[in-house]
């Protein structure tokens, strides 16, 4: 799955910086990898529970709540399969951002852009309190992590770091564009049918429209749509 950032006002997403992590011994790397994956799974479980609308209500209360909720209509898009190398969420975002700019990127550039997105989150959340304070919702999400912000900032430096809700909250602000997360309708609660895809969460909803510099009118900003498989992987919807 799962540098200095460019100005949030820029349309194109570009981050300049070095990549890579400090070499470690094989045993240390294995231990770090296991710890990272275990923590990432805990993060995914939290995200999954939130996105699937899991609550601590009784069965009767849950049934009543579900009855009141309106069924969500399925949407239909083409799925762009993304490599599952630990950075799939960042890869999906990189391809999606290129798509809304009417650009194509190759496999090498896709990986570079994915790592730049991860490093941009690292810059915002770990380099200074001032930058981190600009992302209160992301900071709150990190509280679900074992080890808190300290452990988080160690893990996000790894190239195989799994992205999730924290990173989506930050990136949506940086690119000033909505990021919509979908589930296959067949596994989503409240879906009106078993076909297509259902949006379960939108990050950066406040950036759905922006004022045109030429006309002064509000114009819609195309979102990036991610497909979450309900477990450990993201693809892109276009």
Check if the beta carbon of residue 192 is closer than 8 Å to that of residue 207: no
* Adjacency order of strands within the sheet including 79-80: 79-80, 234-237, 224-228, 179-184, 197-203
CA atoms 51, 57, 62, 66: torsion sign: negative
59-62: which pairs have CB atoms within 8 A and are 24 or more residues apart?
none
Check if the beta carbon of residue 181 is closer than 8 Å to that of residue 198: no
Instruction: Give the residue numbers annotated as catalytic, written as ranges.
Output: 85, 88, 233
């Amino acid at each position: 799955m799962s540098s200095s950032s460019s100005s949030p006002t820029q349309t194109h997403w570009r981050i300049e910086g070095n990549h890579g992590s400090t070499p470690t011994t094989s045993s240390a790397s294995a231990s770090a990898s296991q710890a990272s994956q275990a923590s990432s799974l805990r993060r995914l479980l939290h995200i999954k529970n939130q996105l699937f609308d899991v609550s601590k209500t009784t069965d009767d209360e849950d049934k009543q709540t579900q009855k009141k909720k309106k069924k969500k209509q399925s949407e239909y898009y083409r799925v762009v399969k993304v490599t599952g190398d630990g950075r799939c969420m960042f890869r999906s975002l990189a391809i999606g951002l290129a798509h809304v700019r009417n650009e194509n990127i190759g496999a090498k550039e896709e990986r570079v852009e994915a790592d730049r997105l991860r490093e941009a989150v690292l810059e915002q959340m770990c380099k200074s309190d001032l930058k981190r304070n600009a992302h209160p919702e992301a900071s709150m999400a990190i509280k679900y992590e074992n080890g808190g912000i300290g452990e988080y900032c160690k893990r996000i430096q790894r190239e195989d770091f799994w992205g999730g809700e924290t990173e989506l909250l930050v990136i949506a602000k940086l690119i000033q564009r909505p990021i919509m997360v979908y589930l296959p309708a067949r596994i989503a609660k409240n879906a009106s049918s078993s076909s297509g895809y259902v949006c379960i969460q939108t990050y950066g909803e406040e950036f759905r429209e922006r004022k045109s510099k030429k006309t002064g009118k509000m114009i819609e900003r195309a979102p990036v749509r991610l497909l979450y498989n309900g477990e450990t992987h993201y693809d892109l919807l276009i």
